[in-house]
Amino acid sequence: MIVVRNLVKKYGPQEILKGISLEVHKGEVHAVIGPSGGGKSTFLRCLNGLEPFQGGEVRVGNHVLSPATNPRSDARLLEAVRRQVGFVFQQFNLFPHLTVLQNVIEAPTQVLKLKRDEAIQRAEKLLARVGLAAKRDAYPKDLSGGQQQRVAIARALVMEPGAILFDEPTSALDPVMAGEILELMADLAKDGQTMIVVTHSMGFARHVANQVHVFAEGYDVESGPPSKVFGDPQHPTTKSFLAQTAND
């Protein structure tokens, strides 16, 4: 579903990603872990065209992003990629002037051109699934952080994407709220939702992911099934990082 080949990302002379390659198949959950500054969030943003990159390519289904991809001339390509790959941010990024329901139906009505009634029906089903049916007419300011993140997840799901990218979705939440979001994401995984998750939760990476990638200094220094990465780490960075996060 997603194929990344030799991805290179630079900010000026600084190389953030130094040739990352991976493949994500339908129904898989890939967790990306590692020390801060390893390029994890930047990597996710390159996958759906939020960040340009300077080398390699990203394939999403039949669509290909390359260093030559231009936001203006390739707007249709980027739109097609973003239809297939949803994104859930750290800071929720809800529209503050819209209700919960309006936030969720905005993209399907504007991008997919769904009729309003159909979009509302789809949104209400997803709000019930994330436990927020009673909050459909509330505004983001009236919700807890965990509730806002659940709305953000419903907003991603309403587009029926092939895959969803999660960028540290629990980092702005307290432990209880974080646990609720991780439980919801685990349920999505059980239902076969393809996901790439940048996370600080070693429990999620260990118990939910099919593949774990350890990013450090722009490289994917170690990857494999959780049993291998956690049970028999090979790279010194992986060993050090797991020792520091043993209680997470």
For the stretch 172-215, pLDDT in tens is: 899 999 999 999 999 999 999 999 999 999 999 999 999 999 99
Q: So what's the pLDDT on residue 192?
A: 96
User: Can you tell me the distance from the alpha carbon of 151 to that of 130, in angstroms, rounded to the nearest whole number?
Assistant: 8
Q: So what's the pLDDT on residue 60?
A: 96
Residue 8 has pLDDT above 80, yes or no: yes
Residue 247 has pLDDT above 80, yes or no: no
Q: So what's the pLDDT on residue 236?
A: 96
pTM: 0.94
Q: So what's the pLDDT on residue 38?
A: 93
CATH fold of the domain at 2-93+163-244: Rossmann fold (3.40.50)
Please indicate whether residue 248 or residue 3 has the higher confidence score (pLDDT). Answer: 3
Mean pLDDT of the chain: 95
Rounded average pLDDT over 4-13: 96
Token pair in block for residue 43: 């990597």
Residue 246 has pLDDT above 80, yes or no: no
Q: So what's the pLDDT on residue 32?
A: 98
Quick one: which H or E segment has residue 205? Answer: helix 202-207
Rounded average pLDDT over 118-136: 96
Residue 42 has pLDDT above 90, yes or no: yes
Quick one: which H or E segment has residue 213? Answer: strand 211-216
Token pair in block for residue 54: 């300077």
| Contact predicate 150/132, CB 8 Å | yes
Percent of the residues in the chain that have a pLDDT greater than 70, as a whole number: 99
Q: So what's the pLDDT on residue 172?
A: 87
User: For residue 34, what pLDDT band results from cuts at 50, 70 and 90?
Assistant: very high
User: Can you tell me the distance from the alpha carbon of 118 to that of 100, in angstroms, rounded to the nearest whole number?
Assistant: 16
Rounded average pLDDT over 115-140: 96
User: For residue 245, what pLDDT band results from cuts at 50, 70 and 90?
Assistant: confident
Rounded average pLDDT over 61-83: 94
User: For residue 164, what pLDDT band results from cuts at 50, 70 and 90?
Assistant: very high
Percent of the residues in the chain that have a pLDDT greater than 90, as a whole number: 94
**Exposed/middle/buried for 175, CB within 10 Å: 0-12, 13-18, 19+?**
exposed
Q: So what's the pLDDT on residue 80?
A: 93
